[in-house]
Structure 1
Amino acid sequence: MKLNIDLSLKQLFTSKQYSGQNVQRPGMAKLLAEESNRHWEDGINVLKKHLQIGGLVDDSFLNYFTFTGKGELGGVYIAQNYRNTMLNLVKTSRAMVNTLTDYHYVAIQSTTLPPYGDLDVAHFLSELAEKEAEIAYKMTTGYLIHESIASSGVALDMFDENL
């Protein structure tokens, strides 16, 4: 959940940087805003599931909420920032799939919940992982297309418009 909220904030701030007057890449700004909203919703859904299965919300849980999301654009070389943002989206999405898959395995293998672990949580996690895998594929495809046209300014503008 914390990872989702951190990613949401990072992508929201970076989205605003891309839509700013210095960069003016509205396609990337829109994509990042959509991803920010999706990660926020996923984080809230994880919190709801935590509470639904009887998770506690005490002081130690509340202290867990120190978010570190911030915009990732730096420097003045916009083309490299664009490439790095695309690459970060791919890496983040793939890492999220791996994390969700690991949690799914833990939920299934739990020996404290008879007879086969917590199937409700495992199903919830598998749905999140499936959705994230689709996003990872979309981001990887976008990154590969970007890499093939990165040297052409006109093609890059058209690519950004169609994100």
Structure 2
Amino acid sequence: MNLEIPESVKVWSQFAHPVLMWVLLGATLYALYLGIQIRRTRTAEGDVKKELIKGRYNVKHHQVGSLLLALMVLGSIGAMAVTYINSGKLFVNPHLLVGLGMTGLIATSASLTPFLQKGHDWARYTHIGLNLVLVVLFGWQAVTGMQIVQRIIERMAG
């Protein structure tokens, strides 16, 4: 069975990954904000703590983090699939390797959840460290990803 993908789908599918990743970068920054609020809640006292608890930052952080994990893994796999469909190969370059590393980082960070829930400080500091590296790499990926998008657009125009 030979399934032929329409050319228009092949062309426009190349833009799904960059759009998704920009949305995920925003969601990652929101998760960072929520994490900071959790930390503030943990260290606050009295009425300030009561007010912060009402924000349910821990629940929101967990939900956003879970969504980030799922969409980053699917986005990484999807990007490789689209690249292969359009080019017949994967381009092994820093953008791909860093993206795969980021997928591993977010999975490792998420895997610490049971230890975080039990209050292990080592897990908390590891989670924070992994996610700070992830945010820095995400910023770098945004720049290199836009360079790739520019090359795709130039190829489409030429």
Q: Which has the larger radius of gyration?
A: 2
**What's the TM-score once normalised by structure 1's chain length?**
0.44
